[in-house]
Structure 1
Amino acid sequence: MSATKSLSGYAPVFHPTGRCHAPAGSQSRRTEREMKHRIYSISFASIYPHYVAKAEKKGRTQAEVDEIISWLTGYTRQGLDAEFEKKTSFEDFFGHAPQLNPSRKLIRGTVCGVRVEDIEDPLMREIRYLDKMIDELAKGKAMEKIFRR
Structure 2
Amino acid sequence: MAQHRIFATAFASVYPLYLQKAERKGRSKDEVDRIIAWLTGYDPAGLERQIQSGSDFRTFFAQAPRIHPNAALIKGVVCGVRVEEVEDPLMRQIRYLDKLVDELAKGKPLDKILRS
**What are the ranges of 5 or more consecutive residues in structure 1 without an aligned counterpart?**
1-31
Show the 5 A alignment for 1:24-35: 33=2
Match for residue 92 of structure 2 among 120, 125, 128: 125
Q: TM-score, normalised by structure 1?
A: 0.76
The letter for the 1-side match of 2:105 is A
Match for residue 15 of structure 2 among 48, 53, 70: 48
Q: 2:91 aligned with 1:109, yes or no?
A: no
Task: Provide, for residues 31-57 of structure 1, a one-character-per-residue CA deviation record: whole Å limited to 9, x for no partner.
Answer: x945x1x10111101110000000000
Q: TM-score, normalised by structure 2?
A: 0.97
**What are the ranges of 5 or more consecutive residues in structure 2 without an aligned counterpart?**
none
Post-superposition offset of 1:71: 0.1
Task: Provide, for residues 87-134 of structure 1, a one-character-per-residue CA deviation record: whole Å limited to 9, x for no partner.
Answer: 000000001100110100000000111110000000000000000000
Q: 2:111 aligned with 1:144, yes or no?
A: yes
**Larger gyration radius, structure 1 or structure 2:** 1
Identity of aligned residues (%): 55
Show the 5 A alignment for 1:18-29: none
Distance in 2 between residues matched to 1:107 and 1:56, nearest whole Å: 22
Match for residue 40 of structure 2 among 53, 70, 73: 73
In angstroms, what is the RMSD of aligned CA positions? 1.2
